[in-house]
Structure 1
Amino acid sequence: MSAPQSVVRRSAGPFTGRVAVTSVMVLFAVYSVLPVWWLLVTATKNKGYLFTTNGFWFSHFDLWANVRDVFTMDGGIFARWMLNSVLYSTVGAAIGTLLSAAAGYALAKYRFRGREAVFNTVLAAVLVPATLFALPLYLMFSEIHLVNTYWAVLIPSVVSPFGVYLSRVYAADSMPDELIEAGRVDGAGEVRIFFTIALRVMSPALVTVFLFQFVGIWNNYLLPVLMLADDRLQPVTVGLAGWREQLNNGTPYNVTVTGAFLSVLPLLVAFLCLQRFWRSGLTAGSVK
């Protein structure tokens, strides 16, 4: 006997929905990966084959020669740009994550007057585009003579309203009050409880905050280009933009593309190294 027509329609409905969802996901994946693939393929080609071969497939593999040209261009300044970006991103993200964790933990676990007003101010800061702060920061830093120094980029990088918001929400949900009370009963102070217990419990959220901060600082362009006039202080984003503007004045196209490819690698390394820390349930069994 054949299945009733209504049963066939019900079984076909979920299947069609899964196919539609899968198709949309595949399109988004291709849209996201295709530019990176093009960058990888183009970075392996010599300037003589950039526009005469298929842009999405390999031919005449010259990646190592292109990398050598990148690190010898303009006296090897690309290495300095990369080190500057690593400094700004690593130090800024690390300090910013610690400050966000402390602020979020305090807003979630301590009762004090004006707590909700502070948190609402943080939410408002999340909604304000970061570009709006660039000019006021420049005017303020110029008054205290910090323009064209490392501090002009590092100090604004340690502030993360989104990090405070995420830390506050995660601490409220994952940090039991009983665990804090147990630490106090054992004689631990508030600072020790925060560094030995809270930071470990909040580690999945803090990894997320760190990665958001790291990527945001690494890709930041407007703030460094306003604050820094010395080429040796600039991050790789500003340096590559300068090379792109000089394409008609002697800077090879393949050098700029290969430099852009190399600038993406630290972001990939950061994600691959930190993804194993994304796990939940760290407090399971901590409170009996």
Structure 2
Amino acid sequence: MTSLETRAAVTVGAPPRARLGRRFDPEKRRSTLLTILLWLGVLYFVLPLWWLLVSSTKDNAALFSTFGLWFGGDLSLWDNLQTLFTVRDGIFTRWLVNTLVYSVSAAIGATLLSAMAGYAFAKYDFPGRKALFSATLGAIMIPLTALALPTYLLFSSAGLTDTPWAVIIPSLVSPFGVYLMRVYSADAIPDDLIEAARVDGAGEFRIFWQVGLRLLGPALVTVFLFSLVATWNNYFLPLIMLNTSELYPVTVGLAQIQAAASAGGGSQALFSTVITGSFVSILPLIIAFLVLQRYWQSGLATGSVKG
């Protein structure tokens, strides 16, 4: 074999990656593309928050005369906060407390109900289980606005409209939470562990509370956060259920302030006050996520090690 044939044989026999490595690196290209997409996702979610922060430091005139994504003029954050918490005799504080009560109560109740329903769907075999679970999945596809009017008529006939229960009780139902807990319970809770608890004489309710819930930590935190955010940001349900201003959550209350200011012919422009109120209203959600994410991550890490 000549030297030319030898070089040709070595070249042909070389691995494809070795022959193409100098000209094309698919891993590097894929990493760059994913990095760009991740940064675009970060900008998509962070820019509105940044605009809200910047706008809450401006007065009404600066809102329309300066660049929206950067500070301009004198910082008016403190003045905006004073106006926010003093307008209409400081009713914003009442709205904030209402929102906290509605959201935490609904989130705790929705988490417990979803955990019990998901555990039952995953670990018990009973007549109609597949049909009920299919109905639960179908409920995820129904928009909440389509259920608003029937819910109002139902609560009106029961005399519960214009009460906190009109906001809390409908928020206890979370079809997505039931689905998530069912999927997580199926893998996170071994059947052998349940059988061992039954052999030791534990009842089904005790097994769920002392065994099941301990293994469902990450899923519980996930459902709690989803329910908390959904109830906190809910606008349409409190709008049709509540008539008393003192019972409003932050979403409806801020809209009422803006509507009242606009109805006055613009003589009392409260754009900066409403924006500052929106910024203040998202701070508890950010704090809740920062506090709970460590339990979320630690639970997921523990599950991966045990698996």
TM-score normalised to structure 2 length: 0.87
Q: 1:77 to 1:15 in 2, by over 3 A?
A: same
Question: In structure 2, what is the Cα distance between the partners aligned to 1:283 and 1:245?
Answer: 50
| CA positional deviation for 1:128 | 1.0
Question: Is the CA contact 1:179–1:286 (under 8 Å) kept in the aligned structure 2?
Answer: no
Tell me which residue corresponds to 1:98. Answer: 112
Is 1:40 aligned to residue 58 of structure 2? no
- The aligned residue for residue 278 of structure 2 is 260
Q: Deviations over 1:147-183 (max 9, x none)?
A: 1111111110111111111101100011001111122
CA distance in 2, matches of 1:4, 1:107: 52
| Cα distance in structure 2, aligned partners of 1:286 and 1:86 | 36
The equivalent of 2:63 in structure 1 is 50
Report the count of equivalent residues.
Answer: 284
Question: Does residue 42 of structure 2 align to residue 22 of structure 1?
Answer: no
What is the one-letter code of the residue matched to 1:19? T
Sequence identity (%)? 50
Residue in 2 that maps onto 1:272? 290
Q: By how many angstroms is 1:121 displaced?
A: 0.8
Higher-Rg structure is 2
**Within the alignment, does 1:83 sit opposite 2:83 as a pair?**
no
**Which stretch has the larger CA shift, 238-247 or 174-183?**
238-247
By how many angstroms is 1:281 displaced? 5.4
Equivalences for residues 97-116 of structure 1 within 5 A:
97-116=111-130
Distance 1:193 1:284 in 2: 23
Matched position secondary structure for 1:128? coil
1:22 Cα deviation after fit:
1.3
**Contact conserved, 2:258 with 2:270, CA < 8 A, in 1?**
no
Question: 1:126 Cα shift?
Answer: 1.0
Correspondence 1:241 to 2:241 = no
Give, in whole Å, the separation in 2 of the partners of 1:61 and 1:45: 6
Deviates more, 1:145-154 or 1:19-28: 19-28
3-state SS of paired residue (1:179): helix
Match of 1:140 in 2: 154
2:169 is the alignment partner of 1:149: no
* Cα offsets for 1:34-67 (capped at 9, x unmatched): 1100100111123343233332222422222211
Distance 1:162 1:137 in 2: 19
Moved over 4 A (4+): 281-287
Superposition CA RMSD, Å = 1.9
Listed as ranges, the gaps of 5+ residues in structure 1 are none
Partner of 1:66: 80
1:280 aligned counterpart, secondary structure? helix
Q: TM-score, with normalisation over the residues of structure 1?
A: 0.93
* More displaced 10-residue stretch of structure 1: 278-287 or 114-123: 278-287
> Is 1:130 the counterpart of 2:150 in the alignment?
no
State the Cα distance separating 1:285 from its structure 2 match: 8.8
Distance 1:4 1:103, change over 3 A: closer
Aligned mate of 2:131, from 93, 117, 122: 117
Give 1:190's match in structure 2, choosing from 204, 214, 227. Answer: 204
Distance 1:285 1:27 in 2: 32
Task: State the partner residue of 2:187.
Answer: 173
Higher mean C-alpha displacement, 17-26 vs 175-184: 17-26
1:204 is matched with 218
Shift of 1:244: 2.4
What is the distance in 2 between the residues matched to 1:198 and 1:84?
32
Once residues 194 and 252 of structure 2 are traced to their aligned partners in structure 1, the CA distance between those partners, rounded to angstroms, is 46
Aligned counterpart, 2:9: none
